[in-house]
Chain A
């Protein structure tokens, strides 16, 4: 499990978020969106705290967190790399680009580099299919990729 230690100030932050949605269990997904926005991810302790505030079982929170791909229980790297594996990118060779990212970073999909600088994930379609294949690093989109460009892009960070 994660090394995350829940501090009192974190509890306050979570409580404020839950209060802003009137502690309404129906707002769970919105609460989790905001909470992940603050912490970057949703470790177990954070989920317990959310459950307590909304007065619902932790299992329910955990069920929702693990159901949706947008929520993550693992921290991301400083620069989160998300490679699009939508169909348009796939047929234009996204897999080869992914292999190159794995090779350059020495990590698998879903992992973070040991220095915490990069994390590698895949997503399905950012809607920039005209630029396929594309990768998102943070909010920046890099398009028309091929494996030979990967090293150059990573050198920017």
Chain B
């Protein structure tokens, strides 16, 4: 057998697949075959590299060349130039936006320099559908280590590491395991929450797609610690690729004796099944998730009893999020001392964020706790798209809040974000610029909440609906000062009285925008203006007399005959007749119509 001299790693994450990375792989393979190189050079489809903005990405090993935005048509050049002649294809290299220099190695790219990868350690390095590649990178060594300890010793290590739940609330993981381990029952369950419902968040999906084996291993470790023999992964049906890769990983683990009876020659039995979600945000809440796994409507119930006492089918169950599990093997391999040396006093380790919105480098990043928002947005994220001004960053999804310029130097950890009126959440981070209207953003999130509220408790079902109507009224320019007080009051009532985490945190987007962007609310209510120009009803269309050529096109197309003017003379819009349909704006060939 010929020795493999070179690997071409191609990103097979959802984002890159959408940009035809599959066809790129086929094309690379065809080119290698045409040059009789297919035995020496191997193309591997990996999980997400994180740098989604520049996808599809091809990484060449061993020289670590990092190609961006590679199209299937580029395969020929990569093979002929790089593989055959050893010359890098400069035009496909990453270009430093400031110096305009080409950077060939990801280590020297701003996007990667500040990152520390623990949960994402294998994403983009291994073939997620081949368990042997995981094992070569110390996969399942942590499980072997744990099986030589007592469960209490292993739980103690997780406790000492300081790991907190990455799903959002930040409950100490070791403590959760300890509680579940102490409850006696004939059957217990380990549940992995992979119901990532946050719009704009794709951390868990990327881990499952890029390194499914780490989740399987961590669940087995958890099972040993709490005394469970069954694991269940609750995953969204909307993630077909993650589902497929989990199925492959579970199947291979069974073949290798890493799942099933008597794992690694011990007395410990453990196996994992998948359960599919069907699209309900509230199912991220652990009691709702458990009801959904039982085939019921995913409605939450009051805690206590906690799932650790009575969870799936009434048995003690330990529910952890994907990213939490992904940290577990690393903690056992490198020690709790190492893990707890990273991060801040109360938040240890790293956090994965899905960076999106009006930012140059959209992608998946992992940074130590305590990194500031400024470092994340401007150094890793490369700043705001199109040189616009930063306005806000939304963290924590629909349960979180918007943070502003004044928070940019706040070190990110669970407690600081809550103190600033937002929350860690699962890790979605949406950056907004000066063109975004914060009232509309708050309305957008409430629209989501209204749709996703399960309807069980009145504060969430009715309260959020009323909040949404009030915001709609404000965006229509019909808001009053009383409406602002009403929003404030209602938010607090919902926060205090809703049944579950979804309801209790649902007013956060409104509260935080009202706190930090009160002037924008006032502009909508008092001046009847939308400073960002997003709210249609509050826009006014005005003709710039300097640019208007008097071609009459706008007047001909105006459905309400609001535009008047003679030929070759600048036209005027009668604001009392204008219905703000935007037709004139679309039709004008001279850019003379302005939105104010």
Q: Which residues of A does B touch, CB under 8 Å?
A: 24-30, 32-33, 63-64, 67-71, 85-88, 90-92, 123-132, 134, 141, 143
Contacts and interface: CB of A to CB of B under 8 A. Distances in A.
B183 to A, nearest CB: 22
Interface in B428-452: 428, 430, 432, 436, 441, 444-445, 448, 451
Given A67-B280, A70-B279, A129-B202, A134 B18 contact: yes
Given A70-B238, A91-B430, A125-B201, A64 B358 contact: no
A92 B296 contact: no
B276 A125 contact: no
B481 interface: no
The 8 closest A-B pairs by CB, nearest first: A130-B52, A86-B199, A68-B278, A141-B18, A88-B356, A127-B202, A87-B200, A28-B295
A88 B238 contact: no
B324 interface: no
Contacts of B436: 91
Given A67-B454, A88-B362, A128 B14 contact: yes
A88 B278 contact: no
B201 A91 contact: no
B537 to A, nearest CB: 14
Contacts of A87: 199-200, 356-357, 394, 397, 428, 430, 444-445
Interface residues of B, number: 51
Nearest to B297: A67
B237 interface: yes
B499 to A, nearest CB: 16
B297 A30 contact: no
Contacts of A130: 15, 52-53, 55, 356, 362-363
B120 to A, nearest CB: 15
A128 B17 CA distance: 9
B197 interface: yes
27 contacts: A26-B313, A29-B276, A64-B296, A67-B454, A69-B278, A69-B451, A70-B237, A70-B277, A70-B279, A71-B278, A87-B445, A91-B358, A124-B199, A124-B448, A125-B198, A125-B199, A125-B202, A126-B14, A127-B14, A127-B202, A128-B52, A129-B52, A129-B354, A129-B362, A130-B362, A141-B18, A143-B19
Interface of B: 14-15, 17-19, 52-53, 55, 197-202, 205-206, 237-239, 275-281, 292, 294-298, 313, 354, 356-358, 362-363, 394, 397, 428, 430, 432, 436, 441, 444-445, 448, 451, 454
Contacts of B239: 127
Nearest to A134: B18
Contacts of A24: 295
A33 B297 CA distance: 14
A124 B17 CA distance: 19
Contacts of A33: 237, 276, 278
B44 to A, nearest CB: 21
B242 to A, nearest CB: 9
Contacts of A125: 198-202
A25 B201 CA distance: 32
Contacts of A141: 17-18
B14 A88 contact: no
A68 B357 contact: no
B394 A131 contact: no
Nearest to B428: A87
A128 B13 CA distance: 9
Contacts of B298: 67-68
A93 B397 CA distance: 18
Contacts of A124: 197, 199, 281, 448
Contacts of B237: 33, 70
Contacts of A68: 277-280, 298
A27 B295 contact: yes
A28 B205 CA distance: 25
Given A70-B237, A87-B430, A125-B198, 17 more contacts: A26-B295, A26-B313, A28-B296, A30-B275, A64-B297, A68-B298, A69-B451, A87-B428, A91-B357, A125-B202, A126-B238, A127-B14, A127-B206, A128-B14, A128-B52, A129-B15, A130-B52
A132 B385 CA distance: 13
B358 A92 contact: yes
A120 B235 CA distance: 25
A125 B296 CA distance: 24
Contacts of B297: 63-64, 67
A135 to B, nearest CB: 11
A125 B298 CA distance: 20
A86 B362 CA distance: 14
Contact of A69 (B280, B356, B358, B445): B280
B12 to A, nearest CB: 13
Contacts of A25: 295
Contacts of B199: 85-88, 90, 124-125
A24 B296 CA distance: 12
A87 B354 CA distance: 12
Given A33-B237, A88-B356, A124-B197, A132 B362 contact: yes
A131 B15 contact: yes
Nearest to A139: B240
B530 to A, nearest CB: 14
B358 A143 contact: no
Contacts of B201: 125
Contacts of B280: 67-69
Contacts of B295: 24-30, 64
Contacts of A63: 297
A131 B18 contact: yes
A52 B454 CA distance: 26
A117 B398 CA distance: 34
Nearest to B283: A68
A87 B296 CA distance: 28
Contact of A91 (B275, B432, B451): B432
B278 A129 contact: no
B451 to A, nearest CB: 8
Nearest to B201: A125
Nearest to A71: B278
Contacts of A126: 14, 238
A27 B296 CA distance: 9
